[in-house]
A and B are shown apart, each in its own frame.
Chain A
Amino acid sequence: MDLITPSLGLIFWQLVFFLLLVFVLGKYAWRPILSSLNEREKSIEDAIELAKKTRNEMAQLKADNDRAKADAIIERDAILKQARQTAEKMIATAKNEAAQEAKAEIEKARKTFREEQAAAVSKLKDETSKIALEIAEKVLRRELSDKTSQEALVNDWLKDAKLN
């Protein structure tokens, strides 16, 4: 029955060495090992967390970019539209002004022409009456008997008078 009779000496040494082992390993092995493990696990967790966060930030950034891009497109379209409108307005204004100016010019030209025509007509009238007077004067002065020769003479003078 030696096999199941615990011996005092072995119990004593087992107690001494096992407690020594618990103390030594506890202090110099388990504590640093477990804290390193915890640290590593924490750093891995943090890295994963950071990656997730970065990914979210990237998505956010992308969304922001997309929105900015969309905004820029809208703004560009608005600017372009406005520019086009301005240009159209400018062209319209310019056209209008040009038309008005041209009209005024034409009016002016017409007026000048009318004045000149009137002047020319009155001058012609003056000239004609003057010529008629001169012809009448010359006819009266010559006293012509012959009707034919008188007519020839009038025609002759008329020819001369046509010049003016």
Chain B
Amino acid sequence: MSRNRSFKVFAISILSFALSVFSSQAVFAQHEHEGHAEATHEHGKTEEFNPGQTILHHVADEHQWHLATIGESHFAIPLPVILYTPTRGLNIYSSNAFYHGSGEHDGFHLHHEHFTSEDGSHVYDFSITKNVMSLIISVVLLITIFSIVKGGYAKRQGKAPKGLQSALEPFIIFIRDEVAKNYIGEKHYRRFLPYLLTVFFFIWINNLLGLLPGAANVTGNIAVTLTLAVLTFIVVNFNGRKAYWTHIFAMPGVPKWMLIVMTPVEIVGMMMKPFSLMVRLFANVTAGHIILLSLLSLIFIFKSAALSVIVGPFTVFMTMIELLVAVLQAYIFTVLTASYIGAAVEEHHHDDHH
């Protein structure tokens, strides 16, 4: 027992040390890279470590998958750049063309991850960026995982679950019983279950993937959370019944003249729901990443490797919390979506309910 425990302590110390060294390498590399880029654009600027800039760069999207920079050599996976301009139509390049050299290729400029066209026309950027690539990986992973789970159900029809199937079954049942059935009600929950389950596992797996070193920050990207929130908004409002719309445009039990005030408030409330979903997920995930990166930046701010002895274990501790946040935020998004759907499909209006 105690041997097992001391082994665990040992393993955690090794892991935290390795993590801090690895992460410091990555941050340092980033700093080098940033500094280099800054130097090319603004001549004569001193190479000072800028934690804010480094962190923001880490949580943002990019057109290549940068892994590490050791010395002067960059290790990055090139990704396809897909650009559409009304004048020139669709153009596809490799991101290498923009990251090696001046950042200009075939009449397109890449500056701070934004494309501009030389002819001045608007550039619509449909590139497979680092986030899109990570998104694709998560989709492939989810489909693989759930085909295995589905296989488990086909193989052990009516029997006790095993392996991956038994690991994920509690979550599926939890979403079905405690979220869908609980918030939407026995009558309608079945229709929304596929959406709720997909939202939950999509957010969860992307939160987890985002915690890996060198990974993309998909669920901490406002575009991703915006899309999810808008989908929820569409699902909610397309399923809104009489009681839902009455509640918004002609709230029962309120004097008629009050509706002049109440209706705009209710409409704002209708918009605030998906907006809060969008901001909550984005802010929680991004904040987690910023905390982790800030902790590691301390080593570079104080220019002391000895600090990693303190920062390392604390980073591990924060990562543990982030693991919890990963599932918690997925759960919160799913529960709120279910409760909004539940309010929309509700048939009887309760007077005590507001």
Query: Are A13 and B126 touching (Cβ within 8 A)?
Result: yes
Q: With A11-B227, A17-B135 as known contacts, state yes or no: A33 contacts B222, CB within 8 Å.
A: no
Query: Are A10 and B194 touching (Cβ within 8 A)?
Result: no
Query: Are B125 and A7 touching (Cβ within 8 A)?
Result: yes
Q: With A3-B222, A13-B135, A37-B172 as known contacts, state yes or no: A21 contacts B142, CB within 8 Å.
A: yes
Query: Are B126 and A17 touching (Cβ within 8 A)?
Result: no
Query: Are B125 and A8 touching (Cβ within 8 A)?
Result: yes
B269 to chain A, nearest CB (A): 22
Q: With A10-B129, A11-B223 as known contacts, state yes or no: A32 contacts B150, CB within 8 Å.
A: yes
- Secondary structure of the A contact surface, majority rule: helix
Within B204-229, which residues are at the interface with A (CB < 8 Å)? 221-224, 226-228
Q: With A11-B226, A32-B153, A37-B172 as known contacts, state yes or no: A2 contacts B112, CB within 8 Å.
A: yes
Which residues of B approach A to under 8 Å, CB–CB?
56, 59-61, 82, 112-113, 124-129, 131-132, 135-136, 139, 142-143, 146-147, 149-150, 153-154, 157-159, 169, 172-173, 176, 193-195, 197-198, 201-202, 221-224, 226-228, 231, 282, 286
- Choose among A12, A22, A26, A39 the residue that contacts B126 (Cβ–Cβ < 8 A): A12
Task: Enumerate chain A residues within 8 angstroms of B59, measured Cβ to Cβ.
Answer: 3
- Choose among B124, B139, B146 the residue that contacts A29 (Cβ–Cβ < 8 A): B146
11 pairs from A and B in contact (CB 8 Å cutoff): A3-B286, A8-B125, A9-B126, A10-B61, A10-B132, A14-B227, A20-B139, A21-B198, A30-B194, A30-B198, A40-B159
Query: Are A25 and B146 touching (Cβ within 8 A)?
Result: yes
- Choose among B56, B82, B129, B198 the residue that contacts A2 (Cβ–Cβ < 8 A): B56
Most buried by B among A26, A30, A31: A30
